[in-house]
Chains A and B, each alone.
Chain A
Amino acid sequence: MKPDPDAVLGYLAGLMVQTIAPQVQPQYLAGVIGMSGMLLGMAAQEWDRAADRLVKENRAIRGLFRQAERVGLDADLAQEVRALAGGQDDDLRISALESVNTGLRAALISLHAAVETRTDAASRALNDAIWAELSASTSRRAYTGSPF
């Protein structure tokens, strides 16, 4: 699509927030238009990066699951993370990547809970790696204008 959708959405966001909303009455509708503009602006930021962000995140979580093979997990959890570690993102539509990401992050919660209280070196290393990835994931998801 040309012009690039992120540029188009970003322009429309600015138009709605800065030009249209201040001229709209009643106040509530002006607020709705302003919020709609903000949403377009966030969608513009996400448009270009969403697939890249999700592929990187899914890849990173699968890496954590491979690392978990060095940790003695209970059989069910070990089987679950081993199966997920072998997956790959063949379908690059955002909805497909999100669906895979949801499954990976749900399993990551179980893995994290299983290793975080262990004291052996492999578990501590995995715990630190999980935290590092969680922190990195928030950097990937950050957007301009975030409150924090």
Chain B
Amino acid sequence: MAELSEDRIAAYAASRLPGARDVAVSGLARISGGASRETYRLRLRYVDADGRSVERPLILRRDPPASLIETERHIEFAAYRAFHGSPVPVPQMLWLEEDPAHLDYPFFVAEELTGFESSPGALTGEAYDPVREKLGRRKWTILGEISRADPEALGLTTVMAKVAPEDCWRRELDYWEGVLDEDEVTPQPIIRAAIRWLRANPPPPAQKISVVHGDFRTGNFLYDAAGEIHGILDWEMAHLGDPLEDLGWGLNRIWCWGQNDLRGGLLPRDQAIAVWEQASGLKADPAALHWWELFNCVKGQGIWVSGAKAWSDGETRDPILIISAWRMFNPQDRAALELMGRL
């Protein structure tokens, strides 16, 4: 396998830019971009067919040998494309390449949104005190926009697996319980008890079928010091389903980042829900939301055990997989206990 190089990327870009000449790539650097794909920053330069010089900062996301989660990159790519230009800010997608002949693994290329912050840790600092509430309102408003959107009108019902409103919960729970069955590196008595409760107390059918981002949380969007959000990232778990699934994931205690009265480190729980309801035009029935919040503890533990298994099996040695396991196993259990009234 050849090294990922600027020349190889430039050769690929040239093949996707008919009429372009002098195609060159510079500044290739791997950056921290989540645990599911390798993320690279690069700068593309070329002269287009009309003779204009073009320079674009880009992001290349390539499948790794193993990852925290198994995802379909064409679904992620389609989700980004569907929301581009909508009230949900996302970077523009350029190319999806599933043939590993070009860069050894499938990948996609997107514009880079430059000059913004994504770290949840930075948000806990005093510098963000004045805009924390504004950011929280923007965050849950944008999630409301995702929930409100019509998946068919977005063209996503032809890409994502369809699901009936009454089947959303079972499909998701079956999937993540299966992940635990397969990847569990140590017994999970708390999460297994949660699964039994979830099966015995199913939620009502989804009030609508929405696009579910799948990982909508602080840390997966680009923001600035003025409290504006410029890009929703990491759509690799996007699917059709109950919009309360996304709301429940974002409210998960593990994403409070040590600020336990602020969900996502940004807003009190009730306020976050109210903002989402207003933006989505939907209702967060308390019992149904409780089900989805507890489900998301199962999903979270499924993600963490998958990373631990991938590392333990030697599929990959990326330390982010160990961080995920060591750092998240226990808080995820505690979040589940709290929701079951047993903490």
Contact status B323-A35, CB under 8 Å = yes
Contact status B30-A112, CB under 8 Å = no
B331 partner, pick from A109, A113, A147, beta carbons under 8 A: A147
A6 interface contact, C-beta 8 A? no
Inter-chain residue pair count (beta carbon < 8 A)? 91
CB-CB under 8 A from A146, the residues of chain B are: 258, 327, 330-331
User: What sequence of 0s and 1s flags, for each residue 314-343 of chain B, a beta carbon within 8 Å of any chain A beta carbon?
Assistant: 000001101100111111011101000011
For the complex, give the distance between the alpha carbons of A99 and B330 in Å.
19
Interface size for A (C-beta < 8 A) is 29
Contact status A116-B330, CB under 8 Å = no
CB-CB under 8 A from B31, the residues of chain A are: 26-28, 31
Contact status B327-A148, CB under 8 Å = no
B196 interface contact, C-beta 8 A? yes
Contact status A148-B331, CB under 8 Å = yes
CB-CB under 8 A from B326, the residues of chain A are: 39, 42
Contact status B330-A143, CB under 8 Å = yes
A36 interface contact, C-beta 8 A? yes
Size class of the contact patch on chain B? 35 or more
Contact status B32-A31, CB under 8 Å = yes
Taking the nearest CB of chain A, how far is it from the CB of B262, in angstroms?
12
A147 partner, pick from B257, B320, B337, beta carbons under 8 A: B257
- The answer to whether residues A27 and B196 also contact, given A102-B187, A134-B190 and a CB cut-off of 8 A, is no
- The answer to whether residues A27 and B32 also contact, given A39-B323, A135-B343, A148-B253 and a CB cut-off of 8 A, is yes
A11 interface contact, C-beta 8 A? no
B324 closest partner in A (C-beta): A35
Indicate the member of A27, A102, A108, A148 with the most B CB atoms within 10 Å: A148
CB-CB under 8 A from B93, the residues of chain A are: none
Indicate the member of A26, A38, A116, A138 with the most B CB atoms within 10 Å: A138
For the complex, give the distance between the alpha carbons of A106 and B32 in Å.
36
A32 interface contact, C-beta 8 A? yes
Contact status B189-A28, CB under 8 Å = no
A39 closest partner in B (C-beta): B322
- The answer to whether residues A102 and B186 also contact, given A26-B30, A116-B193 and a CB cut-off of 8 A, is yes
Q: Tell me the residues in window 100-140 of chain A with beta carbons closer than 8 Å to chain B beta carbons.
A: 102, 105-106, 108-109, 112-113, 116, 131, 134-135, 138
For the complex, give the distance between the alpha carbons of A148 and B252 in Å.
10
For the complex, give the distance between the alpha carbons of A76 and B210 in Å.
46
A77 interface contact, C-beta 8 A? no
B319 partner, pick from A26, A39, A112, beta carbons under 8 A: A39
25 contacts between A and B (CB under 8 A): A26-B30, A26-B31, A28-B31, A28-B32, A35-B319, A35-B322, A42-B327, A102-B186, A102-B187, A105-B186, A108-B187, A112-B192, A113-B196, A116-B193, A134-B189, A138-B330, A138-B333, A138-B334, A138-B337, A138-B343, A142-B330, A146-B330, A147-B258, A147-B328, A148-B331
Task: Other than A35-B319, A116-B193, give 6 A-B pairs with Cβ distance below 8 A.
Answer: A27-B30, A32-B319, A116-B196, A134-B189, A141-B329, A148-B253
